[in-house]
Structure 1
Amino acid sequence: MSETYLHLNNNVKDKLWKMICSLLFLCVISGNCVVYSTFPNGTGPNRKEGKVWAVLPDNVPSFDRGLSKVHVAPASTPMKKFNSTNSRRSKFRREVVRMPRFYRRRSDLTSSGIVMSRHTPDRWLDASYDLRYGCPPGCQCRYLEVECRQMQLQGVPRGIPLSTEKLILVGNEIESLNRSSFEGLSNLKTLVVSNNRIRSIEPRTFDHLTSLRRLRLNRNELKSLSRDVLSGLSQLQRIDLRHNKLTCLDADLFRDLPELRHIYLSNNNLMWIAQDAFQEQKMLEQLHLRGNQFRCDCSVRPLIENFLRTNRLDILIRSGATCYMPDGTTRLGQRALDARLLSTLECSANDERYVRPPMMCTPKTSVSCSTVCDCSMDRAANCQRHELTSVPQDLPREIMELNLAHNHIEILNTSSFQNYRNLRKIVLDSNRISHVDPNTFSNLKKLSSLYMSSNKLQLLRPGLFAGLDSLRILYLHRNKISCLQRGSFEGLENLQILHLSENRIQTFPKGSFEDLRRLKYLYLVHNPLICDCRLAWLPPILVEKEAGGTQWARCAEPLSLQGHHVREVLPKMLRCDAQMGPDDDNSLCTPERLQCPSGCRCTEITSTPLLHARPDAAYRPDELGLISDGLSVDCSHLGLTELPKTLPVNTRELNLRGNQIQEIKSFSALTGLNGLQNLILDGNQLERIEPFAFESNAKLKKLILSNNSLTTFDHRILKGLENLEILLLQHNQLGCLNNFTFSHVPSLKIVMLNNNKLRCIAKGIFEKLNLESLSISSNPLKCDCHLSWLPDWLRENVDQVISGPSPPTCVEPEDLAGTPLASLARYHFTCNKPGEECGTSSKLTRPTEERTTRWPCTASRSVCCEYPLTTERSKCPDRCTCESDGVYCSDLGLTEIPENIPENTTKL
């Protein structure tokens, strides 16, 4: 192959320079070119001519414009070959598009040539081809120059060619710089990062920019610079820090910059500069200090003396530095920092207070970093295992990794991470987190990993993770999550790994994962999933996304599908009863209804699914997960005068013992607690319980109302409690019980009525009950004809009656006082008017008819039980929640005002 030397005149060198750069840049890395470093024996171009030469193959089209002559080199011309493929390969991927080391300077091209094979693409010879190959998106790249202006960048972009000598990042939103910001860009000579929002620069950020000549950081928000922030810039000649918020300059800030000639510090808040801050700048030509906040006192004396002593006072005078007189704050009180000012300052010669930095210039050390956190690693803080109850707020703002595992944090609020916007990774495993405020993570735009396993989270509210655009990994396993809503994962479009194993999740709302467009791995094992029609949409997603090898999610219910992998269940097998549809959602699954009341203690109650597996089943029972049976809420001995305003909707046990509650209304915090099983209210000051107060607590099994001040007990109080088994009413002030008192509690087994003021107990009150234990001792019973039925009943049910310290005895009449009832015969019980019978009543013709029935106990002195016999309460609108302070129908998708709103409603 013959070789052609292309000689370009000076007047066309600039026009074709882009083409030459493209040739050198691209053809060498492809292996189609061979590069020569010199032309010996005088056959090549003369380097002193300043011409640009290239060795081209025969198939290159002719260039008529701008060519003065063409030389044909003999084939025997000896040349020193350089093979680019043998050069060391960089560890940085972006270097594959960079120009070889021999062609990083224009001067190097004047003594080099390039040989191209016949297979070189013709487009490489197109003069319009530029260096966009390898240019960061949106930026403009010219020869050795990259400009990214006003692109709203929050950090230094990737993909900057390593050969870049000038980098311009003006007018963006960069807030911090660190050691990785300019990694690999060792050829930079000019760096412009003006008009951004830079608040912090990590020490040794520019350490490897050994060729940098000019650095512009003006118009940012810098308040201080550490002494090592400019280390490594041994060739720096010009630095621009104007229009920042600097207040002090340390003596060592410019110590390693011997070549520095121009320093721009105008329009800051400088109040103090160390006396030898510019000591090493022997070649200093310009210093700009105009528009700062120096005071005309002894604090400026060391600086002026240093410039005077080094014969450079003229530089300080030309800097425009002025100070304010102590008694003036206007410009009229300003004076220049010069020898005349020095002569007016009355300072003690031995006073070193002004030589040392003032208190405001001393960097604040993080107490947390020196006590409970290890901040020794680069941009990381390890604060685990220190019993922390909150996120430390005095850590370095530039940290990128924060480890808070194994602490005692219970709540995350909006201020927890507001100081650490550069965080990439947060570890919160093994804490006690039960509540996360909205917008807690909203400012963490760069966060990529969030670990919150082994905590006490119960629900994921919609929008909780909104703003985490960069999040890739989210670990939430080993929590107590039982409540998910549509939108729980809103904003996590880039999430790739989601870990929800070992929670209490029984179902997922349809479309729970529709926001996770890039999800690759989903972990759901050890959750008690109910495989009904509500999960019909889930199996296809699990086939595509579920991770964990063969450890896949299984059905816990119904028994017919127990143990089956959810991903393998056919849609026709997922059925619901007539009252439930595939789109049904729990409207009570809200943060307010799941939050533990203030001051109370909430403990989770768990159980295992009812097993229906064969002995040879291919799975272990623990693979079905633990079912959350709700919460045990302990609000005892808190001095409460009323029920808490709200209670967790999944409350199973509620302890209100030892408070000062006086009344329970028909609409209260108990309304809506459909799963409540145990209610303890003993030791209060209850005087009144409204009818229907427990109607919505259909699963209630134990009701303890002992040690209160109840005088009456309307039978409608127990309306709806068909599952009630234990009722404790001892130590109250009850005077009379009619035969309707226990008509609504057919399952009642234990009744404690001792230590009241009962005088009359209606016949037939216990007839429909299958009692196991009954106590009626220590009551002032009046043994007249109305109690004639009781002795026979006591003798027939002797095994069920608890005698206590003493058996039930008579108090009246006088001749029977102190006599045990069970020892009396029917003829002992007489009345003045035998025709009157205690416990008779006319029957109701309609269930809703309200009538009053009297229960006479004696003829001479009537003690009566008067109760309205209404059997229905005011209705509550369908799907709404009726409480004592109003009716709540929000967020139900209603299209019209609901019916059956109670007439006495004051708040809707």
Structure 2
Amino acid sequence: MDKGISVTLWLLLLVCHTGSTESQTFCPARCQCFTPAKLLCADERMSSLPKNISTQVKELIIMITPLAYLLPNSFRESPHLNKLVFYNNALRSVHSQAFEDLTELQELEISGSPWLDHLFLGTFSKQRNLTKLLLNFNRFKTVLPGTFDSLKQLETLQMKGNIISHLPTFLLQNLHNLHVLDLSQNKLAEVHRGMFSGLDKLEIFRMNYNLIQNLSSDTFHNVSQLVELSLEGNKISELANEIFSSLTKLRVLNLRGNLLTTFSDKVFGIQPSSLKELNLKGNKLRELSPLSQLTSLAHLILSSNQLSNLPSDIFSNVTALETLDLSENQLQLLPEGIFYELLGMKEINLQKNNISKVDVKLFEDQMLIQQLYLSDNQLQNLPSGFLDSFVVQHTVRLHGNPWKCDCHMWYLHDWVMKNSQEIEMLEKMFCKGPAYLNGQAVASIGREQLVCQISDKEMPDVSSCTLKATNDTMIVKCKVNESSPLTVKVQFQEEGGSITEHILKSVFP
């Protein structure tokens, strides 16, 4: 059941009960009114339609009743209704002439009737002014050809949450003004060429949670005005090349929750696509081809797949990209120039991967970044300067990595202490090593604790070196030869913590 609709109707019921005393005087029994034009009936004892409905009533809502049948000319006394809603009733059958007198009706909803499994041909034959028809969460298995032929002004059609497994070829052929089509949560197993014939102004098309398995290149041939297409929650495992090539005005494509293992921009044909948002979350993607045709793409969601690597040029032409979600994949490394020239990027989500190393220039062009999520990876440290490109206030997540809190972490520790207000869940950013710092929060330790210990094998031979101190001068003298080159580093640390380093190497002719 659509919780949003349910909440809305219950709020409406509450408003009805708080209506003025004056408005109650013209209400039928077991109903509530809050204006002369709006009537709501919600009573578990109401087995038939209310009698003596005022001719002033324009909106009628009937919900949560045992009403089982709508008989011929059920609304003969209310010909001026422009909105009629049946929600969560016990409807079993609607007569083909039940709405015969409602020629002014603009919105009709029959939803939440678990025993209503069919509609008769001609049920909507007189509703030529209807713009919105909602038939959600019933038990429809199919819809007869011609059911919607008279609804030439229809803009919104929803049939989600039924068990529809087949749509007649020309079911929607007369719906030239249709803007919204929702067939989500059904059992459609196939989308064929003629299904959407005639929908030349279709703007939003949703087929969420169906069981579509096969799509051909002709499936969307007659819906060139599509702006939003959702095929979420189906069983689509493959997309034919150019399958979306006729959708030249498509802005949003939702393929979330299918079985795709690969994706290529060839599905859009050879012309640059107008697509703004592409959602591929929750598929089984193992590889992606460069998305060079998606020059207008601003939002790309690739989370919850099986990606382990990406081509270095995958985003080379996607210069309008603003948000990118690659979370919950199996990425280990990212090519150095993968985000090159993506100057408008605002959000990058890389959390819950296996990334163990990042290049210092990875986000060099992302100066306007606002959100960067690197949490729950395998990072031990970050290269010096890695987070210095950003020029606007931003939010960063770094927790859930096995941070190695030694001398190689000086840069990151300094950045964390300076930018602690910009780090989400900083208290969960812990050191994994060395052992004596394991489990301690990075922000809780001092810089002087970040030291690198040298093993005996790594220790250079300094037996030939001597140290002599005279007043404020220290002298280090080492005997060297060509077979034992030596490098000496001298570091001066100021009170503020900054370090100046001088390096001397033994040089031989």
> Normalising by the residue count of structure 2, what TM-score does the alignment of the two structures yield?
0.45
> Normalising by the residue count of structure 1, what TM-score does the alignment of the two structures yield?
0.26
| Larger RCO (CA within 8 A; separation ≥ 6) | 2
- Choose between structure 1 and 2: higher helix proportion: 1
